[in-house]
Structures are given as structure tokens and as C-alpha cells.
């Protein structure tokens, strides 16, 4: 969300937020004004009544990383292997499928990797966004858009891409039995 707010003219989207037990990177405080706060919705199931699908951008992550992150948020005292039940994996798959069938979605890894410029251009076209003036948000050399390099958001954020690679074969098999290969463009074994 910080990347979108940094690169496009979006107006004032700030909100004040209080997150006990975490700190805002920019200030180190639990209460902070989040500059792009109204860009971010939530993790609730998609409902047509909440917003029209053409106004929603859904950022997805590798489903395995997402479920590990969900575990850290919902049940860190429960062993991960117990948390990753086939029913929980199915429930998450239905949730993500419901969003992605209706809205414009992009992969987190594409926002942080080599496809950054083309993904940002696609977002601009899809939502009719105007780029910020170069003096406000100078782009990277050879690019049109500015990448956010510094940490943003809340901490502790113990997440890391690819942590699922450390899972035992049993957990990977459980996941692969529920999530179809190629879901959301990820090569799921």
C-alpha cells in the first residue's frame, strides 16, 4: 500500500491507528497516523455490498507463506503442523478464490521483483491512476515508479518469503492435496 501511495496521486488517505503489542516503523509507537490507511481494507471474506469489484486491488502472496503468516497472527502458541489442517487450508483456499474471481489481483512477489514496473503500470491503467510528480516521488534509475526500500508498517513482523521451504514433507503434501498446482500463478508442488 505504501508503494501505491508513494507513486500515485491518491489524496489524503490517512487514518490514526492503535495496534497494541506492535510498533509503527516510522515512529516506533503503537499509535500512528498511517498515510495510506484507507487504501487497506481487511482480511474478511469478499462481500459485494462492501465495495464494487472494479475498485478493489487484492495483493496475494504465495499461499504457503500466507498460511504461515495466518498461523503467526491467529495461533502462534499452537504448533504449526497442528494449525495446517486440511480443513483450514480448504477454508483459506475458498476465501482467496472468492476474492480473486471478482477483483483485480497482483502477486506480492511481482511488486518486489523484476515485474515491478509492469505491474505498477497495469495498476495505473486498471484504476485510472495518475503518477505523482517526479520531484515528489523520484523513480529508480531506468524506471518510472519508486520502490519502497525502507521497512514500513507494523512490527514485529517476523514474516519472510519462502519460509514454507523449511516445512517437513508431510505438511507440504497436506497443502498440495488441497491447493491446485498453479493457484494464483504459484508453482505449487
For 105-121, what is each residue's pLDDT tens digit? 888 888 888 888 898 88
Q: Of 118 and 155, which is predicted with more confidence?
A: 118
Where residue 83 falls among pLDDT bands split at 50, 70, 90? very high
Domain that holds residue 71: 2-184
Q: Return mean pLDDT, the chain.
A: 79
The Cα 23–Cα 16 span in angstroms is 13
Q: Of 175 and 47, which is predicted with more confidence?
A: 175
The pLDDT value recorded for residue 13 is 74
Structurally, the chain folds into a number of domains equal to: 1
**Residue 12, domain member (yes or no):** yes
**Residue 189, domain member (yes or no):** no
pLDDT over 70 at 145, yes or no: yes
**Residue 11, domain member (yes or no):** yes
Q: What percent of the chain has pLDDT over 90?
A: 15
Where residue 189 falls among pLDDT bands split at 50, 70, 90? low
* ∠ CA 5-69-32, rounded to 5°: 40
Got the DSSP string for 58-76? Answer: EEE--HHHHHHHHHHHH-T
Amino acid at each position: 500500500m505504501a508503494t501505491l501511495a508513494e507513486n500515485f496521486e491518491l489524496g489524503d488517505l490517512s487514518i490514526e491507528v492503535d495496534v497494541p503489542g506492535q510498533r509503527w516503523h516510522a515512529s516506533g509507537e503503537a499509535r500512528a497516523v498511517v498515510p495510506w490507511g484507507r487504501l487497506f481494507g481487511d482480511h474478511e471474506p469478499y462481500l459485494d455490498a462492501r465495495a464494487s469489484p472494479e475498485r478493489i486491488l487484492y495483493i496475494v502472496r504465495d499461499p504457503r507463506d500466507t498460511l504461515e503468516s495466518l498461523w503467526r497472527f491467529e495461533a502462534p502458541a499452537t504448533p504449526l503442523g497442528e494449525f495446517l489442517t486440511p480443513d483450514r487450508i480448504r477454508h483459506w483456499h475458498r476465501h482467496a478464490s472468492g476474492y480473486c474471481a471478482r477483483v483485480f489481483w497482483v502477486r506480492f512477489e511481482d511488486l518486489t521483483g523484476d515485474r515491478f514496473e509492469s505491474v505498477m503500470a497495469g495498476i495505473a491503467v486498471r484504476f485510472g491512476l495518475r503518477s505523482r510528480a517526479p520531484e515528489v516521488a523520484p523513480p529508480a534509475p531506468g524506471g518510472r515508479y519508486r520502490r519502497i526500500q525502507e521497512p514500513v508498517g507494523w512490527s514485529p513482523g517476523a514474516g519472510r518469503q519462502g519460509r514454507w521451504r523449511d516445512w517437513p514433507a508431510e505438511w507440504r503434501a497436506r497443502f498440495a492435496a488441497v491447493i491446485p498446482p498453479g493457484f494464483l500463478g504459484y508453482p505449487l508442488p
